[in-house]
Amino acid sequence: MRGYFQELLFVLLLAACAWTSHAQTIGPAADRVVWVGRGNIYDPTAIVGIDFDGKPGDCSGRPLRCRIPADLGDDWMTKMRVKVENRSPVTMTCVRVRLQIPRVLRQSGETAFDLYMGTIGVIPEKALRVSSDRVLPVDQQPLIELRSGSTEYVPFAHSLREAEGISRRLATPEQLRIVVDPWDVFFEDGARWLAPSGYVRPDPDKPGAWVSIFSDPKQTPWTAKSQ
């Protein structure tokens, strides 16, 4: 009987080791770093800084990455703001940025991403009539006019949790990064820049649909500025 219990204990220990091997997570607050997604010269906006609780973050590198202060604990996201710059010659009325927080599914080892959206400004009425976008409507903020060359902070204190995404690949250190990147921009005339698809506008002939302004998402209405 004693041998049976020793064997059972050994099996349980092996199971525990196998379970914890799938329980990778991002580190404690002291070890967490927010990476800014690498944009390109065709993007009309860029993240140029991050602060926490009103204080500039410890940021460096290219792409930009900022360490989360350890004393913020698990509440760090509500204390974070990202500084965005309008790199286009056109005034923006709304800017949204996306935050991806990774975690690992214990049973499969796949990477899941909790997605949050931070917003400044108001989406134009023309764009709000477009019903095909699953991200709309949003918790809109006070009116803004972010003019060419200006910067503004996008807070996550009132962020909208968008969804959960899952990568079918096993987790890697590259995937276990907290990443923030520009998601979309709305201009005064109702036009929009959306990270995956470029520049679009409401289709006047098909209510509830967007139409591309250019056939190539890398094209812009102006001369692109280098980052």
Kindly tell me if the per-residue pLDDT of 2 is higher than 50: no
**Residue 167's pLDDT is what?**
66
CA distances from 57 to 24, 103, 130 (A): 26, 23, 37
**Residue 12's pLDDT is what?**
36
11 vs 5: CA distance, rounded Å:
10
What pLDDT, in 10s, does the model give residues 173-225? 666 789 999 999 998 877 889 887 788 887 878 766 788 887 666 667 665 44
- Count of other CB atoms within 10 angstroms of residue 147: 13
Full-model pTM = 0.74
**Residue 174's pLDDT is what?**
64
Strand ranges inside 57-195, DSSP E? 58-60, 65-67, 80-86, 92-104, 110-121, 151-155, 160-170, 178-187, 192-194
CA atoms within 13 A on the CB side of 118: 24
Residue 198, both tokens? 């470029």
Which is more confident, 162 or 176? 176
CB 109, CB 171: distance < 8 Å: yes
189 vs 103: CA distance, rounded Å:
39
Residue type, 29: A
186 vs 87: CA distance, rounded Å:
13
105 vs 112: CA distance, rounded Å:
7
CB 220, CB 44: distance < 8 Å: yes
What pLDDT, in 10s, does the model give residues 137-150? 456 678 899 999 99
153 vs 144: CA distance, rounded Å:
11
